[in-house]
A and B are shown apart, each in its own frame.
Chain A
Amino acid sequence: MSEVIVPKKKEGAMGGGVKRDYQGKEKGKRDTGAGGAADHPRNAYTSMFESFRDELDEHHDRRMRTGKVSRDVTALSKKIVRKLSQPIPERIQSEIDGRLKEIAELLETIQPDVQGMNRYRYPLICLEEFVEAVSFAHYLRHQTLITPAEAQDVLPADIQLTAADYVFGIFDLTGEMMRFATAVTALSGSMPTGDGPQKETDDGKRTILADMQDVSSILQISPTVGKFNTYAKKLDIMIEQVRKVERLGYGVVVRGNERPKGWMPDLNEDFSGGRGGDDITMTD
């Protein structure tokens, strides 16, 4: 508003924003920053606060660095997950390897920031996402659940993987398994099964549903790790995902042949009890 009323010559070549007071007059530049700090009157506590300032700046820098890397690694992990399918073709595998290399480079930059005591100081959500990606790849290859030690081995940096990172990653894995089960069932008309001979049981081949049921029961039996509320929320979501795949399995057995190929099952039909499908994903 005031710019219109009081046209004045602009100082800079760009003439960008000019700060004005309530009367529309241009505000004089206050000298702040280095010059201002220098003639700041000193008192008995100035040097103490200056040393605190330096310490806190270091801390905030570390937090910013880890936060940024965490976001980037999360994005890369999600890209890996999206590309995964079975079997993993050569081309996709090389793309995944490339992304893993990027993750390694990113994590390396913050490695000193999260060593020792500082491991629990800054949130590293990306490790959950990373576990999700590698555990899904592991499942597609071997039809088994990745162990914490194996997950730590594939983590391309010297950063300790905590129990919470591992468990929360596995919670996310069931979401991916659900998507995978749905897509494959829609395309092939039957539930995906493991192909290894060890998968044979009396009831025929183990299906992905049985695997999801196993994962969900083991996580329900285990005591909570990490933040209690996060754990409880993720556990609820996982149970719902397992139920969806159970309904899918039922639908395939009962009326599988009646449906055309390529038909996408509606996982929310029947028994959904008011819980929509919108709570499948948790970003962090």
Chain B
Amino acid sequence: MASDNNSNMIDPAIFEYLKAHGEEEIEVGDKLHQISAALNRNISTCQGLLSRIHSTPSSKLAPLLKQVEETGIHPEIEGVGELAQFASKYPYYKYNNRWARSIQNVVGTILLTAWLGGMGTESQPGELGRLLTIEDIGGILKVPVNLKDRDAFHVTIEEYLLALTDITEELSRLAMNSVTMGDVALTVRISSFIKDLFAGFQLLNLKNDIVRKRVDAVKYHVKKVEDVIYDLSLRNLLPKTE
């Protein structure tokens, strides 16, 4: 009566506040879900194409990488662009767990393509064994990286590091398959690259989180490649260096 259902206890402004915040979270969540579902489809396409490296001899690698770039990575870049544009309107760390995994996968596909000799530009032609830096990745995706001075979408160091652990896994598989396909030189190249990365990971002071878990797995990638190298050296199949 006296309180016409709005009790004296609760200021109506509180309800308005709760409603506004709750509805925003729901709307943003739905939209992000939609954007990342589309992005994830592009990622799957790209990863699927890229998995053909395991059955493509080096001589035919260049056309495959070209195809990966055009039909795999370009749509990924567009998807990231859409995500970046929308996500930058809201606090980054409030929602970033919704897309961190997708970004990691995108970065992983780009790193792998580039390492195998793709992603060449006019100023920087593609070559085998080229590791793109996080800044290069930012340039390709047209988003900032490791942003600290403002709140907007960016690629984090964690995402880049996790993507590195993804490509060591993929390359350790390739090390074996390239022997099968008769390209032992590539296996040797992969071996030294993975070892260098592994040495790099040792420099990090990791806490008990996902990065540590993934970095711990890198030693098994190293071992896998070492086993292949061991088999080859035992049979004198390694190419003579000097």
Contacts and interface: CB of A to CB of B under 8 A. Distances in A.
Interface of A: 37, 40-41, 43-46, 48-50, 52-53, 55-57, 60, 63, 116-121, 143-145, 147-149, 163, 166-167, 198-202, 206, 210-211, 214-215, 218-219, 221-226
Contacts of B151: 116-117
B196 A163 contact: no
B207 interface: yes
Contacts of A198: 8
Contacts of A226: 25
B18 interface: yes
Interface pairs A-B: 5 shortest CB-CB: A223-B22, A49-B200, A163-B21, A117-B151, A120-B93
Contact of A144 (B8, B204, B211): B8
Contact of B2 (A53, A116, A200): A200
B240 interface: no
Interface string B172-203: 00000000000000000000000011011101
Contact of B18 (A116, A118, A225): A225
- Report, as a range, how many residues of chain B touch the other chain: 35 or more
Given A117-B150, A202-B1, A56 B18 contact: no
16 contacts: A45-B131, A45-B196, A45-B200, A46-B200, A49-B204, A116-B150, A117-B91, A145-B10, A163-B21, A206-B8, A211-B7, A214-B9, A214-B10, A219-B18, A222-B15, A223-B19
B240 to A, nearest CB: 23
A282 to B, nearest CB: 20
A40 B8 CA distance: 70
Nearest to A57: B205
B13 interface: yes
B18 A143 contact: no
Contacts of A166: 17
B128 interface: no
B3 interface: yes
Given A43-B199, A117-B93, A218-B10, 20 more contacts: A40-B199, A43-B196, A53-B205, A56-B204, A56-B206, A60-B207, A117-B148, A120-B91, A120-B92, A143-B8, A147-B13, A147-B17, A149-B13, A163-B18, A163-B22, A210-B7, A210-B9, A214-B7, A215-B9, A225-B25
B210 interface: no
A143 B2 contact: no
B217 interface: no
Given A45-B196, A147-B14, A167-B18, A211 B9 contact: yes
A1 to B, nearest CB: 30
Given A45-B196, A46-B203, A56-B204, A223 B25 contact: yes
Contact of A201 (B1, B197, B207, B211): B1
Interface string B48-68: 000000000000000000000
A117 B147 contact: yes
B138 to A, nearest CB: 14
Contacts of B147: 117
